Structure 1
């Protein structure tokens, strides 16, 4: 077990200052991660619109003691801890002056306005980095700063559709489906974090800032991974397979006698043990199924044998049997099962925090450091909660 006495009382990015002009999910995912790692994050929100759009993306909301709703929607809280909220209208000269004052002390600025949208305020990359050449300036948009679609709006659903993942998601005879959460936004935020850390490394060596720009669609295309390269290699357009794997069989969700179970039979030895459990050793000897390439070619014929065989067993029986035989297997858990599990408790993936509106629970950070642990310093803030304290200070990132 890790010795907590070896841990330092600050994060790995302690001292890094982030000016966050982003909203919704991609940018806030990035800045929350930087904040979790110890950076100081000042989040700018427009008071005229009620702040970050996701504050209105409820219910559920955190309820105050008097039973009224706060502006802390669950959606907003998912990506906005470890930040200070400053209510500021950047369309005003005063707001623009304040942003430049904050940018003068920041290491990083993140924004997700439409390409060119900040130029009219004098807050675009070209303008700010003339004044502050060491600034790492990160722009996130739907289609990027270049290309014929640069001015189109960027939403996760559109990125999933344009970038191809929806064409791969869903049942073969059903309609295309998006992934159940805003994964194009989240992954774009992850790529942004990696890029920012690389830009900070360059700044440490040279003193130079730079412009990092990302597109939701580019990020989504990047994580097509094996299916994308399958197409580029074969020029065969992949088809929807439900939960089936394009290159491994059986690798799917199967009905049991009382629910569903996930099976991921990754090699021929595992397949032999798997069908042995079912009492169907003959399937391992059948040349149509003896090797993975053969099983791939004869997927439907094999599933016609496996589906009724698996339905004779309960989910627990299948999981226990496969674990004994060291064949990858698992349940399909609902979220109440996920967050009540011993595994979640052991890995600290559910975190209690106290907001100004009341106590909440948020999802933990998956990064586990031996020396500079993730710190849950600030609960998600209500809009403008830190405005006076931050703007009245000569060193706003130190408040």
Structure 2
């Protein structure tokens, strides 16, 4: 592994838009557009209001999509919390990159950054984030760490350092500072603290870059040292030390991409939803369901910690709810993620008759997942209907959705915020970021 901290610092400091390989900017734009939609969707969520209520006075950056002026770090905190408040944001690297990276980039870059600057910064943060995730053979969720909070602070620091044009040493220091600011627990899934953990990661990345710019020092081996980040946060200490990083030669954003979520629930449940909604012959027969068996991986099952959720926040982390909603409503959308729906008698009945069948097998390309998930339904008369095994959920980088679906989600998330013309103009700007002269122009798209 050698000088991982210094190597990552050099890469993040030197990366520019013209260095990006074909396809990288397009993937980044997809993630950023999706992130903007969920920021706007989450503006009125209680957790967003709680976080925003503590915002200090400042004029460095906008929060709440232009409605509040505050310090850059607090703008990142608020916007990232909003982006993850409904758990509808993209995933990759066993984490939620866009909801951390873009709010941090937006807060730091608002006064001066172009669209091309934003895209280069996003890719810098993404590459370092996913490189660090790949170094551990074990899964952080199992230990109780929330990877988005753990790795997100460092990814956001890399992105912000790139925007601020810090040199290689300053950027390495920013990464090392952020490594001491990483935090996040699985135990807080299903509560307001989960999105706050992403908010804190974005805020920490901003602060780390700002401190490094002012001259704060940090360990130039803080990532790879035996007493450093990777070892300290490793579930079992099985770190890959032998392989040198290949920043700029191999691009993780091309190999791993982004998984766009089509349901506002934990990604660990998406394959089950796909399987359940594909079962035929359910019309008029849901009341005759005697029992349900859901087949999923053991790690996924641990993340989906609520067997009988009591509200919509908990329901986002419940395999039982995901399948019940899919069978009853044919969808698991914003309408179903409502406390009254979660507590309905028919939803509760199906959740209580659901059994989890956990697999120890691991998909070679998705380490948090089993090779496939599927749903079985057993009716009162003994008939069994089985949904198809699903390996890559719809919206996964290897099972992508068409542009029309991306637009439909953007429209759904922004319909209460923007009129039709403003919505279309903002979506166009987000998907042509390379042509945007100044990132603050995005706020001009508000109705």
TM-score range, shorter chain: under 0.3
Report the TM-score when normalising by structure 2. 0.26
Which structure's CA Rg is the greater one? 1
Report the TM-score when normalising by structure 1. 0.28
Q: Which has the higher strand share?
A: 1
